Structure 1
């Protein structure tokens, strides 16, 4: 709730009455407000929107992911360009880990187990060769790394930075950018850096464990002494992005038993197979039913090594509740600290769903490829020239649980171009970031022309010098720009252009700022006339 500074008993009472309709639980905490006459409101500070977001990418590094990692490296720019737009100016961190959490059948890999990875793909090119020296060798060094990351960036690392829990400047295993300044060495853009840091190789464990990798990454972030300690900030949104072409296989307490060739092999499609296929993961974590129309619908299930509903401690895969609970704890803590009623955690998946998937109508049928069915336990969720992908049932359930407005947050890994998916994920973050709603019913909002609001004055003080903030330029194509010679500008919007948070809280003016990279905000103050008829102006 706003804080009222009483200067005139009569005008304070009037102001409180004007705010009464919006005195309930706000979706976002709005700015501190001071009334100093019957017709004006001072908003301090108007530039306190939440702009912090921590993004964890969990990237499949198994043998089939060469083309997908190449597509990701080629399109990281689409993601960061949204976050770095002048009208967004996100304070972001990007951390990357793999889906390799180890497995009894993966003795030749070095599981990252949720540890954040930050090294140039040029520095570990051998990881981009699957099954080297065999008939099954796959070499993706060129397309997944060398085409996007020049040789001179083989030793690319981050510049030293501080964290809230570590006052010593040191290189961190994540990319970060704040106030237009990043921890990427000078002369290299964040997109160029991600094209080198993003690709993880294709020699990781083929029993992918994206959910457990996420869990361990989040635990590591909160553990002193870990290289990734402090990655997740209390006052930042958390976005998790999974990129995988297979079903989750995060082993639980009874996991080893289910994969033991000397065991019952109930979950094996072929008990005589020399190696357990990934179908064991599907059969242990998914339950399906066929509807009257012939379509097949599947949901997560916690099964034991006999394929029965598992008692606690007997699950082949870690229960999905394990991952729901850690994200929910993080979400609740962030809500308490921010005072926000909206979700502070988002989850997205680029996985085995059809191209153009809109969030509805997945069919988990057996498909028409018998070999794929034997290998993975289900028909392909999507196909492309590069192969097929398994439907992500457990990942889908987690993503849907952390989609605040129910919007689609699953995208097809079979699409050759990941820029639409990455742009959509970034734009969803922008929608959730806290807007600059003026926390009062402003007079004259209908008089806004090209972003200028005559009833509000916005000033900035830097080094003791105060000046009025310029109105941004409104271009013919509808975009906004910094006027010549200005490093900060503002434009006002109202009506249908208002952020939904402003509309829900009966606020009629939103201020949007553009500022040049690296520019200090100083102290900014907004003074606006208050409407004498809020029931009409802010209905």
Structure 2
């Protein structure tokens, strides 16, 4: 997550405070009657519906008492998000072969976390490869093209250079094909899209196919791709294609959706800058002792990384901009596209989304050359390899090694992703289930119901079931506010009141989600809506925090 969101949120809270409608939350409020709609209560009462049971609402007195630690209700903006686009950029070089099976196996925990979000979000999943079109490789590179096809339909891509990884596909995937249903596009045209889409309104999956199974078949990309892996260039190509009305990928990246980019790469990033392709052709500066046709991705390490210390063990290594002559240069003259360029690209995506949907997040997560159980700030060992063949291949020793797997330090990927709020995971670990579940947990934190960031409690032991009473409003920049009712239960379903197309459920007590409980919240807001949210809109929750000296509850 980019850090500059909070300033804007704080500004909106100040704006909202001046616009807030008065609301209801009582410290020693007594239940004075049952209600089904607000009109059942008096002017100084609120009809409150809490929890997921079938009971009627309760009229609660809306008067302040000395039990409250402030002069009035505390307003805070609440941003409901229900869209997430997930882009997989998957290594398809021979080096990924030992991890293809566990890549397929990690899809179930990823899906389990995302599908647990309430209410169910609108999810999109797309896949491309790390083959961005390096001059050393065949001209059949994906170059950011989205691929949505069962691996069983392309088993030939799982065989290359004496490697046969077909069982990694057939063991994890049971679908001979993945025939998707047509869906409307950005302009409303209906066609088959090169991505998976699952939403409360429907999905484009084949009949009887679960999302996790479709991803197990679609995400592994084989081993026949380019060894000069360029995931950052592939990311830029996907963004360009998504904005090109003539490309099948057009419209994949929704301007109103959160974005999670997952890069799986066993190599270094070799994203060559336009006009500098000669470093893989006839410019020998970065070749070391090799000559064509035996050039290796070590070119990319020499061209894009610098290490401190004399070696063979180095103090640290980091990205560097080098020119065609091998010397340090400006970013504009670098032979590999600077990592700052890709960070700025994702920052622009963040700003674009926040100009339309306030609070949308953009995250980049890497599964690559870092130590097992890697955490942000953890030291990475930088040293020349004991194995001469590994040193020749990568230009540096491995940052991690495991069962049939070793990977060089992912210095360029880490530099590009550092400000986007997710840790990296080690490609050398033999099970990615926990790592993918963690990535999904972080990515889904901005989706669905929202945890009220302060602890809201009722101080009256006679009404313990009433933990939080809040009023809600929908705000649009330049348009003012519209009251939003709480939802009511009818025939076992939550419905809105007064003809409003939206309503909000306040979850408390045992009905609160583990995610919100873990944050110390005891109030959780869930939006139910029958129409799209207006652009540039957000919600205001005005709630009291009742003083309860025996509760482990932070003050406002």
- TM-score (norm: length of structure 1): 0.76
Select 1:35's aligned residue among 22, 26, 29: 22
Residues 78-109 of structure 1: CA deviation (Å, up to 9, x unaligned): 101100015463321111100111122212x5
Question: Residues 502, 378 of structure 1: CA spacing in aligned structure 2 closer, same or farther, 3 A cutoff?
Answer: closer
Alignment pair present for 1:430 and 2:449: no
Do 2:121 and 2:448's aligned partners in 1 also have CA atoms closer than 8 Å?
no
Secondary structure at the aligned position of 1:310 is classed as coil
Deviation of 1:353 (Å)? 0.9
Alignment pair present for 1:301 and 2:326: no
Select 2:163's aligned residue among 138, 144, 157: 138
Q: Which gives a bigger RCO, structure 1 or 2 (Cα 8 Å, sep 6+)? A: 2
Select 2:353's aligned residue among 310, 321, 334: 334
Deviation of 1:377 (Å)? 0.5
Alignment pair present for 1:148 and 2:169: no
Cα distance between partner residues in 2 of 1:191 and 1:28: 43
Cα distance between partner residues in 2 of 1:202 and 1:283: 25
Deviation of 1:467 (Å)? 8.0
Residues 110-155 of structure 1: CA deviation (Å, up to 9, x unaligned): 1111111101111111111113xxxxx2111112x111222xx222
Residues 293-324 of structure 1: CA deviation (Å, up to 9, x unaligned): 96431111111232112345532211222212
Cα distance between partner residues in 2 of 1:291 and 1:40: 72
Q: What is the aligned partner in structure 1 of residue 391 from structure 2?
A: 373
- Once the two structures are superposed, the pairs formed by residues 382-531 of structure 1 within 5 Å of their partners are 382-403=400-421, 409-433=423-447, 435-436=449-450, 444=458, 453=467, 455=469, 459-460=486-487, 469=494, 491-492=507-508, 510-513=523-526, 530=544
Secondary structure at the aligned position of 2:237 is classed as helix
Deviation of 1:25 (Å)? 4.5
Question: Residues 41, 228 of structure 1: CA spacing in aligned structure 2 closer, same or farther, 3 A cutoff?
Answer: farther
Do 1:448 and 1:493's aligned partners in 2 also have CA atoms closer than 8 Å?
no
Residues 392-434 of structure 1: CA deviation (Å, up to 9, x unaligned): 111001111212xxxx511011111111110110011122336
Deviation of 1:436 (Å)? 3.0
Alignment pair present for 1:117 and 2:144: no
Do 1:498 and 1:509's aligned partners in 2 also have CA atoms closer than 8 Å?
no
Do 1:244 and 1:413's aligned partners in 2 also have CA atoms closer than 8 Å?
yes
Secondary structure at the aligned position of 2:306 is classed as strand
- Gaps in structure 1 of 5+ consecutive residues: 1-21, 132-136, 471-487
- Quote the RMSD (CA, aligned, Å): 4.3
Q: In the comparison of the two structures, how many residue pairs are matched?
A: 471
Secondary structure at the aligned position of 1:401 is classed as coil
Alignment pair present for 1:159 and 2:190: no
- Once the two structures are superposed, the pairs formed by residues 37-436 of structure 1 within 5 Å of their partners are 40=46, 49-85=80-116, 87=118, 89-107=120-138, 110-131=140-161, 137-143=162-168, 145-150=169-174, 153-163=175-185, 165-179=186-200, 181-260=202-281, 262-263=282-283, 265-272=284-291, 274-290=293-309, 295-311=314-330, 313-340=332-359, 344-359=361-376, 360-403=378-421, 409-433=423-447, 435-436=449-450
Cα distance between partner residues in 1 of 2:232 and 2:514: 38
Secondary structure at the aligned position of 2:383 is classed as coil
Do 1:291 and 1:297's aligned partners in 2 also have CA atoms closer than 8 Å?
no
Do 1:243 and 1:351's aligned partners in 2 also have CA atoms closer than 8 Å?
yes
Cα distance between partner residues in 2 of 1:204 and 1:412: 21
Cα distance between partner residues in 1 of 2:111 and 2:208: 17
Do 1:58 and 1:97's aligned partners in 2 also have CA atoms closer than 8 Å?
yes
Q: What is the aligned partner in structure 2 of residue 3 from structure 1?
A: none
Q: What is the aligned partner in structure 2 of residue 5 from structure 1?
A: none
- Gaps in structure 2 of 5+ consecutive residues: 1-8, 24-42, 50-76, 472-484, 496-503, 534-538
Cα distance between partner residues in 1 of 2:229 and 2:111: 27
Secondary structure at the aligned position of 2:88 is classed as strand
Deviation of 1:183 (Å)? 1.7
